[in-house]
Structures are given as C-alpha cells and as structure tokens.
Structure 1
Amino acid sequence: MSFINNPSLTVTVPIAVGESDFENLNTEDFSSESDLEESKEKLNESSSSSEGSTVDIGAPAEEQPVIEPEETLEPEACFTEGCVQRFKCCQISVEEGRGKQWWNLRRTCFRIVEHNWFETFIVFMILLSSGALAFEDIYIDQRKTIKTMLEYPDKVFTYIFILEMLLKWVAYGYQTYFTNAWCWLDFLIVDVSLVSLTANALGYSELGAIKSLRTLRALRPLRALSRFEGMRVVVNALLGAIPSIMNVLLVCLIFWLIFSIMGVNLFAGKFYHCVNTTTGDIFEISEVNNHSDCLKLIERNETARWKNVKVNFDNVGFGYLSLLQVATFKGWMDIMYAAVDSRNVELQPKYEESLYMYLYFVIFIIFGSFFTLNLFIGVIIDNFNQQKKKFGGQDIFMTEEQKKYYNAMKKLGSKKPQKPIPRPGGCFLRS
C-alpha cells in the first residue's frame, strides 16, 4: 500500500530468468543456444543493480553500413603504367602548369561525354545516318539530286562521329577507350567512314576495294546497341554463348554424322533419273527403266539426260548439306520424295517404291532437328539469364532507383533479429 500511496518510492525488483516466451521456440533462426545462455548470465549479473523493470543489456554493436562506390566525375589515367614508365613524355604532373590545363580539359570533356544530352544527340545522329543509308539503291547514280542530298549529310555525320571519338579519347584516355569492346566497334565503324570520305575527296571512290569498304557502313546501326543496356545484354548473351554453342554444335555434328553415314549407305547413287530436257518431266518407268535406256534415247538425238538431283547423299559432305536442308524444313520434301521413289543405282525411280524410307526422315527430324537444334536456343536463353543477373537485380529493365530499393530490401531480408529478452518473473508481476 505504501507503493501506491507514495508513487515516488523506488523499489528494486529482481528479474527472474526461469520463464521466457522464447523457451519453446526453435532458436536456429534467431541465435544459437550458447548465445542465449550467455544472455541469461549477463541478466543474472545485472539483476542486483537493476531498478524497476529496466534491463541494461548493453547496446549491440552497430554494423558498419556497406558503402557503395559512387560514380566519380573524374577521368581515369590516360595511359597504362607500362607506357608511363617507358615513355617520359607520358609523365605529366597535373598539379601545375600545362599538366593542370590538360587535366582540366579532360575533366570538361569527360563531363560532356557523360552528359545525357550528349548521349541522346549521338543516338539521334546514329539513327539518322542509318536511315540515310537505307535510301541508297541501284538507281542512286541516275538520281543526281538524291545522291547529292545523301552525300552532304553523310559528310556531316562522319565529322560528328569523328568529333565524338576525339572527345572520348581525351575524356576516357587511351587505356579505357581501347580496352572496351564497344568503343572498338565505334572506332572501326568511324574509320570506315573516314577512309570512304577521304577516298571520295581524292577521286578513288570507284575503286573495287573502296566500294567493298563502303559496304561496311552497313555496320553503323550496330553503334546504337552500345547505347541501350537491354540491347547490350542480348549481344553479350549471344557472344557469351559461343563456347557453349560450340559444344552443342559438336553434339549436333556427331548426331548428324550418324544419319549422314546411314544416308550414304541407303541413297548413294540412287537419286539419278532420266529427264526430258525440253519439258523437264521425268520419263515414265515404262519408257526408261535404267541408265542404259536413257543413253539409247540420247544416242537417237532425243532431248533426254541422265542427271542427279542437286541435294543428294552421294558422300558424307553432301549428306550433311541434305540433312541441314531437312532440319531447316526448307525444300526438304523434294529430298524425301526422291529417297522414297529411289530403287537402286542406275535404275529409273518409281513412285513410292521404298515407303519405309519415310522412317529415316521422321527419326532424323525428331532427333536431329527438334532435339539438337533446340539445344542452341536453350544455351542462348541460359546465357541471357546469366547476363541479366550479372547486370544487377532480377530485371535488367529496372531504373537505378528501383535497383537501389531492390538491393536495400535484399540486405534487410538477410539480417537476423536481435536476441530475445526473457520475461521478468517477479512477485509483483505475477500478482
């Protein structure tokens, strides 16, 4: 009653250790048993000095936050360490004099190149130049006005791309620029345009080598791939799938080798037939039964010829080509009909003489086409998923803010809750 009448009275309450809401829980998800016993011992030691129901366990050690590196607006070294050590002209102090001026110029170029407006402008120029290439056709020399209208924009585009390349050389440095595969692609395409422009100025545009080089301008739309992350992922997936594709190709070649050898044994020399060269029709078996009958027609100066089909199984090489045509389902019906109509070597084919040959093509389509060719698609899809994970997050099309939120949620999900505090079991609380 004294405690109720005098609220300012302080009562020391010992804390019981025996009763806890967490005793029957599985503590693997929270903490180990040794950690729980250690926590109880600390509570026992501090029970004598605790006042009221306040438990001083001690502040847990704060975890150091993971600081992600921020994108710097400073350019990297222009040359490699080997070049700097070997050539003294590359050893420039950026603290004073011309070195400082050069460094300020690089910083300015770096900020220009990294600006979103600059990147948008370059992408727009790439799309315009690609559209200009689409207007060139076989009649371009006859249309002088259109040819002149396309030549001047082509020069402007070339100058803009050269300026972009020079800005990136200064901003990124030779080390960063020439160790990036996408920059190499830009460099080669710009060089093709520059050589073509120089040849036109010198009057060598009609040379065969220059004309062949001008065809490489068709690679200009590829420059747009490096500007979009989604496109880069697709291209990187295709390039990264090349080693795995080679393994699948080896399996495919072994499968096809079996069917090619079987095809040579079954159909070698059996696709020949006697055909009327005037009408293109095949002679009936009643008129021409074999090669000898066809030769008799040729000797009588009749329009006949003993010929073979273009796609056949006369050897393993031709067998591979025939199987490729069957696997792609382009013109494969002619090959199958020729096999089904075949009789024997130097015999005129007869309609559906060998019906059991249908099984050969059905089995090959199942194992040689549906099975092996779909492995290529599976390998490419697998590499595409790997590239998605490499570029961060489960979705490569998330914005930067969404990626930061996603990574923060992953970090919070990996944190474990703090150690549970046992419930006090004093006499006042029990009543």
Structure 2
Amino acid sequence: MSMKHSVYRGGYPARNMQPDPESDIQEYSDFEDLDQGSEEETDEEEGEEDEDCEEEEDLEEEEDPALQLPYPGFIPISLKYLDQTSRPRNWCLRMITNPWFERISMLVILLNCVTLGMYQPCVDDKCITNRCKILQMFDDFIFVFFALEMTIKMIAMGCYGKGTYLADSWNRLDFFIVLAGALEYSMFMDNMNFTAIRTIRVLRPLRAINRIPSMRILVMLLLDTLPMLGNVLLLCFFVFFIFGIIGVQLWEGILRQRCFLKPLPNVTYPKNLPTYFQYKDQDKDYICSSPNDNGMHYCTDLPHYKLGDTVCNSTAKPSSNNIPTATDCVNWNQYYTECKSQGQNPFQGTISFDNIGLAWVAIFVVISLEGWVDIMYYVQDAHSFWDWIYFVLLIVIGSFFMINLCLVVIATFHNIIF
C-alpha cells in the first residue's frame, strides 16, 4: 500500500500525521464545554450543601427552646413563676433593655455625687436649714429610684442562679447599698443614730463603675493584677523590714532627746520655765545630741533667753531672787545642759524609731516624699550628719524603684490581656 492512504493499526484507522487546525479548535471547544459543565455541577452541589446547612441550623433553632424566647439573654423563668411573656416581667425586660434606662441611672448617680458633696454636717447637724432639707429630699428620691431599679432588675433577671441579678458582683454591691439605705431609713424612723450606717452612702458613686464598661475593665484589671503584685508587695515588705531594723538599731529613742535643766545648788529657777528647752516662736522641737553622738544640735548651742525684746546675758546668783531689770536679766537657757531621752517624739509622738512598727510608719512617710526632710533633719540633729545616706537610699529604692515596679506589673498585665 502507498503511504498516502490511511493505515489501519489495531483495527482503527490511523490519523494523518500532519496537524489539522480545524480539529484542534473543535477539541478545545469540547474541553471548554466539559469545564463549564463541571463548574455548573460543583455550583449545584455547593448550593445543595448550603441549603442542607441552613436546614440543619433551622432545625437546631427549632430544637433549642432558649433561642425561641423573646429575650434570649435572660433566663426563661424568673422568681419561679414569671416567664418572659408574662405582663410584669415583660414590661421590666423592655425597660432594662432600653438604652435610656442605663442613661437615666447614670444621671441619678451623678446627681447623688453632687448632693453628697453639698452636705455640711458640721454646719447643720440637725438638718434645720432649707439647704439641708432640699438635699434630704433629693436623697430620698435617689434612694427610691435605686430601690425601684433593683426591684425591676430582679423581676426581669431573677434573683438566684446563673445569669440572674445576684450572680454579678457589681449587682451584689448595688444590693448591699440599697439594703444599707433601707436600714438607715428604718433606724431614722425609730429615732436611732447610727453614723456607721450613714457612711455607706459614700459607696453610691461606685454604682457608676457598673454603668461604664471602660471603668469596669480597669477595675477588674486592677483586681486581676493583685496576685502578680503579691511578689512586689513581698519585696516591699523586705525593704521595709531591713530599713526598719537599721533605723531601730541606730536611732532608738534619740528623737525623744531634749535639753533639761541641770539642778544647781542655792539657785531657784523661775516657775514659768519649762522642764526642757522649747522654742517660743516656733513649733519645731529642739532635739539635742548626746555627748556620745556626733549630732548637729548640742545643749551648749541654745540661743539666749529673751524677756520680751530684751536679750538676757547674765548668770544666776546663788541665794538670790534674780529679779530682772529693764536692762539686765538672767540667761536661763544656759542651764539647759542635760541631754536626756525623756521628751516626746516629734509630730505629736507619731514619728520615731523606737520600735519596728513606728519605724515602718516613718519609712512610709519618707517613701511618700511628704515631709521626709523634717524627719531627716531631726535624725541629723540628734545623731550624725551622715544619716542622709540612709534616707537617700530609702527614697531611691522605695519611692523610685518599688512604686514604679508596681506600675510596670500593671502595664505588663494590661498588655497581655489587651
């Protein structure tokens, strides 16, 4: 046979080896039709799957009774008898879900803050003036509003159980405040005065925390960081303990040191002289240094005694009344020569290093940077000039390091959560 004729291979005619453009185009169109058909089939399958998922979700919604409630976020039955469709509870649910309900509550809380700040119990303790009576009327209105708000929420949300009113800690605080107010009014009706109950009024502004989400987040953040701050507080305790022991060992009783009168033979001191030296024109105490220490105040450094505008320079004469004249008087301050630890501690006896407890109080005052220089000057007067090293180290470690360490812990925990 000639090569121009078609050749049969395996019972089928073999194609011509030359390329045929028309056949290639036909084959390409056939492949496009197949691709379009497969895409349409996949779209139909996906549509059927979506319809099946929607049908399953509809079945789940029909099976879940909580999703069929008018208010799915609340329990089905409140106070054992009231469902969400009953008239009193449905009305209460509509109220608490209305945004104006919380806005009005916030305005009443702000009004309560203003009225609490305008009270003047020292000026009008018996509440006789018109100002006090008007403020009392506002306080009565605010208490009634808070009581009604609590009642409405209890009816709408229920009292006990998961998701109810008392399940929230902030709602329990509101309940406690309203209960304390009711106790206050009941005692007022019985003519009883219980001031401790009235102080619970100051907790009313805390109700605003539950209404402001950002503030509530910050408060919860602070409460959540307390376990992490435990290590910081432990470090603070060690710093207080170490510096307290050093202060007690070095300065126990020195802030009581005063210059006392030395008894002299045949010399009678005036009756108006104090037992130890005190400034007449200053509230500051003159704390002396004993001979064994290197303080900055000694009993020999006392100023001259003054009688009016006259500066006294004379010495006392034995067996004499030593009556002052217009130009001459006795310098009685020169006889305050005995430095003894028998006086009172400075600042009405609150600041000293006599024991570890009082030392901690002094350390806390120094760390707060409030009046710490006066404490340092007193210690330097009685002990040594170089005691400033103790106070500088205490401020650097306590005030600059430990307080900022607490802020670092809170900021780190905030970044972890948010």
Common topology (TM > 0.5): yes
The alignment partner of 1:10 has SS state of: helix
TM-superposed CA distance for 1:134, in Å, is 1.8
Of 354, 370, 374 in structure 2, the residue corresponding to residue 330 of structure 1 is 370
The code of the aligned residue for 1:149 comes to: I
Gaps of 5+ in 1: 14-48, 80-88, 93-98, 344-353, 390-431
Query: Is the Cα–Cα contact under 8 Å of residues 339 and 357 in structure 1 kept in the other structure?
Result: yes
CA pair 100-368 structure 1, distance change in 2 beyond 3 A: closer
Of 246, 256, 268 in structure 1, the residue corresponding to residue 252 of structure 2 is 268
1:152 matched to 2:112? The reply is: no
User: CA-to-partner distance for each residue in 1:73-108, whole Å, 9 max, x for gaps?
Assistant: 2421557xxxxxxxxx94x5xxxxxx6687453233
The alignment partner of 2:300 has SS state of: coil
The code of the aligned residue for 1:241 comes to: T
TM-superposed CA distance for 1:196, in Å, is 2.2
Of 200, 217, 237 in structure 1, the residue corresponding to residue 221 of structure 2 is 237
Count of residue pairs the alignment pairs up: 310
Q: Which residue matches 1:417?
A: none
- Write the distance in 2 (CA, Å) between the matches of 1:128 and 1:196: 20
CA pair 312-165 structure 1, distance change in 2 beyond 3 A: same
The alignment partner of 1:76 has SS state of: coil
- Write the distance in 1 (CA, Å) between the matches of 2:279 and 2:299: 19
The code of the aligned residue for 2:167 comes to: T
The code of the aligned residue for 1:372 comes to: M
User: CA-to-partner distance for each residue in 1:292-318, whole Å, 9 max, x for gaps?
Assistant: xx9x8599xxxx974443422222222
- Using CA pairs under 8 Å that are at least 6 residues apart, name the structure with larger relative contact order, 1 or 2: 1
Q: Which residue matches 1:122?
A: 105
User: CA-to-partner distance for each residue in 1:350-374, whole Å, 9 max, x for gaps?
Assistant: xxxx333222222222222211122
TM-score in terms of structure 2 length: 0.63
Query: Is the Cα–Cα contact under 8 Å of residues 264 and 316 in structure 1 kept in the other structure?
Result: yes
The code of the aligned residue for 2:234 comes to: L
The alignment partner of 1:271 has SS state of: helix
The code of the aligned residue for 1:265 comes to: Q
User: CA-to-partner distance for each residue in 1:264-309, whole Å, 9 max, x for gaps?
Assistant: 22222333322524626637625389xxxx9x8599xxxx974443
TM-score in terms of structure 1 length: 0.62
Query: Is the Cα–Cα contact under 8 Å of residues 277 and 336 in structure 2 kept in the other structure?
Result: no
Note the 1:262-341 alignment, pairs <5 A: 262-274=246-258, 275-277=276-278, 279=280, 282=286, 285=298, 287=300, 297=336, 306-309=343-346, 310=349, 311-341=351-381
TM-superposed CA distance for 1:9, in Å, is 4.5
Of 225, 232, 237 in structure 2, the residue corresponding to residue 253 of structure 1 is 237
User: CA-to-partner distance for each residue in 1:312-368, whole Å, 9 max, x for gaps?
Assistant: 22222222111111111111112212222334xxxxxxxxxx333222222222222
TM-superposed CA distance for 1:227, in Å, is 0.4
TM-superposed CA distance for 1:183, in Å, is 0.5
- Write the distance in 2 (CA, Å) between the matches of 1:227 and 1:271: 52
The code of the aligned residue for 1:285 comes to: Y
1:193 matched to 2:181? The reply is: yes
Note the 1:406-417 alignment, pairs <5 A: none
The code of the aligned residue for 2:71 comes to: L
TM-superposed CA distance for 1:130, in Å, is 2.2
CA pair 241-161 structure 1, distance change in 2 beyond 3 A: same
Q: Which residue matches 1:10?
A: 26
Of 382, 406, 414 in structure 2, the residue corresponding to residue 376 of structure 1 is 406
TM-superposed CA distance for 1:72, in Å, is 7.0
- Write the distance in 1 (CA, Å) between the matches of 2:254 and 2:138: 60
Gaps of 5+ in 2: 1-18, 58-65, 259-275, 289-296, 303-332
User: CA-to-partner distance for each residue in 1:147-182, whole Å, 9 max, x for gaps?
Assistant: 221222222222221111111011111131111011
Q: Which residue matches 1:76?
A: 75
Note the 1:105-184 alignment, pairs <5 A: 105-137=88-120, 138-140=122-124, 141=126, 143-174=128-159, 175=161, 176-184=164-172
How many percent identity over aligned positions?
A: 28
CA pair 100-248 structure 1, distance change in 2 beyond 3 A: closer
User: CA-to-partner distance for each residue in 1:214-247, whole Å, 9 max, x for gaps?
Assistant: 1211211111111011111121122222222232
Please identify the structure whose Cα radius of gyration is greater: 2
Query: Is the Cα–Cα contact under 8 Å of residues 238 and 383 in structure 1 kept in the other structure?
Result: no
- Write the distance in 2 (CA, Å) between the matches of 1:328 and 1:376: 15
The alignment partner of 1:276 has SS state of: coil
Q: Which residue matches 1:33?
A: none
- Write the distance in 1 (CA, Å) between the matches of 2:84 and 2:229: 51
The code of the aligned residue for 2:220 comes to: N
Query: Is the Cα–Cα contact under 8 Å of residues 277 and 305 in structure 1 kept in the other structure?
Result: no
